[in-house]
A and B are shown apart, each in its own frame.
Chain A
Amino acid sequence: MVPLLNTRERYGLIAQLFHWIIVVLVILQFVLGFTAHGLPISLERLILLARHKSIGITIFVLVVLRLAWRLYSQPPPLPPSSHPLSNTAARLSHALMYALLLAMPPVGWLLSSASHLTVAWFGLFSLPNLVGPDKRLANAMLLTHESMAWLLLATVSVHVLAALWHHFLLKDAVLLRMLPFTRRATGKQ
């Protein structure tokens, strides 16, 4: 069984759950966001964006908890076999993904507030409006949110390619140690 805490060799179950739950939610965010973006005012757009906002807030909370957990339970160091430059690249891209996942929800919240649309979390409670209606701010925030979305998409693509590269070309345990159902996650397979 995968231990709950991270070990020297692999991510523990908690860190893995955080990673994969957030992966699923972020994919949903892209599908909902891009679909809604192409729609005119309609009930469908309203529903897609309502879900997008609720899930986005959830991601923010999960990422904060995930970083707290990361402080509590140190992630495993990268295998000594990997190149120092690739270590730096890994650390930078992870930091960038965390930063974007933390920045996009507040920007989205600001975008909604400036558009005169109060944000509710799955219809259960609503967040205060950060600003009053402001067309120019809304446009600026939409541009920021969109740019961040493209930057996140690019970073995640590199991230996924790197994981696959580790697994299939370098044949190390980097991918396996983030997967819950693998028995051996140390050394070369």
Chain B
Amino acid sequence: MRRIAISIALSSFAFSAAPLAAAACWQPVPGANSIVFTTTQAGAPFQGQFTKFAGVVCLGEGSGRDGRMQVSVQTASVDTDLPELDAALRGPDFFDTARWPQASFTSESIKALGGNRYQVTGKLTLRDVTREIAVPFTFTPVTGGGARLDGKLDFERLDYHIGLGQWRDTRWVGDRVEVTFSVALTPAR
């Protein structure tokens, strides 16, 4: 009986200690990351990315309920390889970076889904709109003490007032936007 109890205690310790072993909180490694968005123009896929963002993710023990995630993206760092388009995207009809320099996500809860999979629920704020979304992601420790966070979310851009005036037309500029992120993490100080 005692041996069983001890081994259960040991294995649950080993399980919960894994993400804790190095650090509970992580932050992006500068430069090694991407936040890529994909939508459509005239029916063809169209991609761009944000190059500057900061954030922190903390994963707690067990259910992960005590975890948290905070991300803020510099909207002016939008990069589509088309300088004229980037300028338009920074303008008032799209991200209006002068008024809203940051887009942000703040978690409310993080649920462990087993293995390296998690789901975070929280508030996404783009421009003047805040909505609750759920985003599945994977958190994978890598050798050398770092970790990787990968995931994907999608939303309708018009829900967040992105693309006003003439750009509301979703036949030519898709409403659905898919965002994939792949972020190298290092223990936060």
Contacts and interface: CB of A to CB of B under 8 A. Distances in A.
A117 B41 contact: yes
Given A116-B80, A116-B82, A43 B45 contact: no
Interface stretch (B13-21, B125-133, B167-175): B167-175
Residue of A47, A49, A53, A118 with most partner-chain B CB within 10 A: A118
A46 interface: yes
A53 B42 CA distance: 10
Interface string A43-84: 110110110010000000000000000000000000000000
Contacts of A122: 43
Contacts of A40: 84
Q: Give the contact-size bracket for chain B.
A: 20 to 34
A4 B182 CA distance: 60
B84 A42 contact: no
Interface residues of A, number: 22
Given A41-B84, A41-B85, A43-B166, A118 B172 contact: no
Main secondary structure of the interface of A (DSSP, over half): loop
Cβ-closest 5 pairs across A and B = A123-B43, A50-B42, A133-B81, A118-B44, A120-B44
Given A40-B84, A116-B81, 13 more contacts: A43-B172, A49-B42, A50-B41, A50-B43, A53-B42, A115-B81, A117-B41, A118-B41, A118-B46, A120-B43, A123-B43, A126-B43, A133-B81
Interface of A: 40-44, 46-47, 49-50, 53, 115-120, 122-124, 126, 133, 135
24 contacts: A40-B84, A41-B84, A41-B87, A42-B166, A43-B167, A43-B169, A43-B172, A46-B172, A50-B41, A50-B42, A115-B82, A116-B47, A116-B82, A117-B46, A118-B41, A118-B44, A120-B42, A120-B43, A120-B44, A123-B42, A124-B43, A126-B44, A133-B81, A133-B82
